[in-house]
Amino acid sequence: MSSSSASPADLADAIRQQAVQAGAESPQVRGADWRQATVATVNSDGTVVTSDGITARRMESYQAPVIGDRVIISLNSSGNWITAGRLATATDVLGQILFARKTADTARTSTTIATDDPHLSVPVSASATYTVDGLIVYNTPQAADFKFQFAAPSGATQLWSPWAISDDSDVNAGGTVGRIRTGTSTGAATQLGVLATANVTCRPVGLIRTNATAGTVVVQWAQGTSNASATTVITDSWIKLQRVA
């Protein structure tokens, strides 16, 4: 009767294989498949460098990277790093459309103080840039006109034109004009005109750039001249902001 036993080399190999398998199955040994990092440098060759010195190649979907982006990075078995893109760290992300629509008419009388519309507002992030579009439909007495502006977070910069009927004081009264409105988050409202008793449209187009403060962009409006007859902003008026930087 014969017997056999494993050699020391065979035993060592078996132990090694068990250790490899246990490590592959244990997150504590192998580490995570991906982790978070912060972008410190944006290179022109399609890579970014993280704050801890990792150079990772961007995927095609990760457009317009900026320093400070919080991203996912992944490592393959060959030691190559990739980044799938930024994580959401703010109210919105690049390319996101922020939209608000009036769900009911709002009427105001005997007031020239432009205050928030109850429907036309959207949240915005700090240090971000948004294109602005919209359609404000209003009805107002000819003697009252219409006063309109955007309110934005403290320190924001605005550059937009309200394409609308000019007010009675304009030399082109009754015509279509585009007035550039510039300034910070506070400032005088733009006064617009009226066309008899019919609904009138205002099409604000431009850009709003926030500073270090997040908050809300909201349409504010009132009568240009106080009048006891109502000035009304009509249902389905809307604004749209799209983040571009």
CATH 2.40.50.140 residue ranges for the chain: 32-89
Q: How far apart are CA 45 and CA 57, in angstroms?
A: 9
Q: 32-89 domain in CATH 2.40.50.140?
A: yes
pLDDT along the chain (245 residues), means of 10: 64 75 55 81 94 92 85 85 82 86 97 96 93 95 89 93 68 50 76 78 92 93 94 97 93
| Tens-digit pLDDT profile for residues 177-197 | 556 677 787 767 788 888 766
| Tens-digit pLDDT profile for residues 63-101 | 878 888 889 999 887 788 999 888 876 667 788 899 999
Q: In 210-220, which positions are buried (b, 16+ CB within 10 angstroms) versus exposed (e)?
A: bbeeebebbbb
CATH 2.60.120 residue ranges for the chain: 97-243
Closest Cα partner for 245 from 153, 159, 124?
A: 124
Instruction: Compute the mean pLDDT over every residue in the chain, rounded to the nearest whole number.
Output: 84
Domain 97-243, CATH: 2.60.120
Q: How far apart are CA 36 and CA 57, in angstroms?
A: 14
pTM as predicted: 0.67
